[in-house]
Chains A and B, each alone.
Chain A
Amino acid sequence: MKGQREEMRIDELLSAYIDGALNPRERARLEARLAAEPALRERLDALQETVMLLRQLPSVPAPRNFILTPAMVRPAQLSPARQPLRWLAPALSMATAVSALLLVVVLATSLLGVREAAPTTAMLGPQGGATQVAEIPAPEETPLPEAAALPPSAPEEYSAEIGVAQSAVTDTTAVTLPLRVALATPSATEEAEVQMLLAPEETPEEGARGFEGPLPTETPMFALPAETPAVPWLPLAGLGLLTLALGLASAMAWRSRRG
């Protein structure tokens, strides 16, 4: 194999030499070898003869006239499918680019949203009956940033929905998120408001507040975030497939346009 490669390399040198395509240094080295190696000289001669015979191949006359008629070059000769392709190929390319950009933007914003969402450290476990409740970890166990406690007002003041608490929040820049309790247990006795951020002087019992609204609030231990920011895989998959399909269509359109 090495010998074959060396042979090919020599033939490349000789071929380039015949065409005058070697630089002065390469030419000088080859000519020195040609003078010293008769076998190499014969090889060059045979290659030169071959090139000369190729260049001297008799010209084969055209068997007929190849002039064009108007019918041959009429635009209608193009298949109907080819007619719109002049603008279709660039349009598909643009659409592919836009789709790909959208995909990247959606993915990036989704991942950023997931990263910024503060995770809850709730533990789920069955308690009593068939329902589940989540328990708040004790403040001591879960160090959380400081936040103003919600005033010990009636539960009516709190939204049953996730959102910023309307009650006054003082001395803190944090936001408490009264959360919806999904389930309740008959045996639960504590309020079911989980503060994302607890004031240090408050105990969970004091700070916890119940929820208003249609949801049962007797027993919720705490409320989980109703919606955990998640990556929208379905739209992303859709955008990805769309980008791929547009890309393929664009490639086919350009190929067809090239003819």
Chain B
Amino acid sequence: MAEGGKFGGVLDGLPQTYYTVGQRWDMASFDEASLVQAAQRGSLDAFNELILTYQDRVYNLAYRIMGDPAAAADATQEALIAAYRNLSTFRGGSFVAWLLRIVANRCYDELRRQKRRPAISLEDMGEVDEDANPVLIDSGESLQDHVERWELAEYLQKAINTLPHDQRVVVVLSDVGGQAYGEIAAALGIPVGTVKSRLARARARLRDLLQQQKELLPAAYRLGGEAER
């Protein structure tokens, strides 16, 4: 949920005629359903409230799929515009899940349009842009832990970037976006069996790549301890 500080940042530079205090929704009583209904009736302000709430998750998903900050930002913006124009197709349920499916499809279309090589070696991947995507330090986390977590995240993102497009989108939607098989199948227009197959292949490939860099794995995993479910 968006914080007050973010609203300050949002208001900066925006013309008052567009975003006046009187039109603001009270964030203390965030009501997604009401905002969605208002947005469907044409309220851009209400839709922007929803964007402010979910844009981090939406951008995060786009970044994990595209592997590039600029491409992820473009895909996010285009997906949000498309979402606003197609609000009438939202039939209830989780609004953020609906948004994530739209952005995933947009990313998938963009990947296919760019005709990137479906699979490249990890060695050919460049470094992940550290400054463009800072990994926030968790409170209570030591610097060393933070660095290790960042390095692992960077390596894992590089590994995701080596996956074929169809596997990449599925594994990100599932394991980053938290989408169920049926939701992924509906979003991408593919059978559930295909989702399972692509997801399994993606996970297996990532597993094999991680096994090559065991020193990056957290201690518990390195020692072969059981992971928490």
Contacts and interface: CB of A to CB of B under 8 A. Distances in A.
B109 to A, nearest CB: 9
Contacts of B175: 51, 54-55
B108 interface: no
Given A15-B200, A19-B181, A55-B175, A62 B85 contact: no
A57 interface: yes
A12 B157 CA distance: 22
B59 A49 contact: no
B52 A16 contact: no
A67 to B, nearest CB: 4
Nearest to B9: A65
Interface string B80-106: 111011000000000000000000000
A42 B224 CA distance: 8
Nearest to A58: B135
A11 interface: yes
B81 A11 contact: no
B197 interface: yes
A11 B156 contact: no
Given A12-B196, A57-B153, A73 B85 contact: yes
A68 B84 contact: yes
Contacts of B116: none
Contacts of A14: 200
B200 A8 contact: yes
Given A12-B197, A46-B211, A73-B84, A61 B48 contact: no
Contacts of B210: 46, 49-50, 53
A21 B55 contact: no
Interface string B198-217: 01110110110011000001
B59 A58 contact: no
Interface of B: 9-10, 18, 44, 47-48, 51-52, 55-60, 63-64, 69, 73, 76-77, 80-82, 84-85, 132-136, 149-150, 152-153, 156-157, 171, 175-176, 178, 181, 196-197, 199-201, 203-204, 206-207, 210-211, 217-218, 221, 224, 226-229
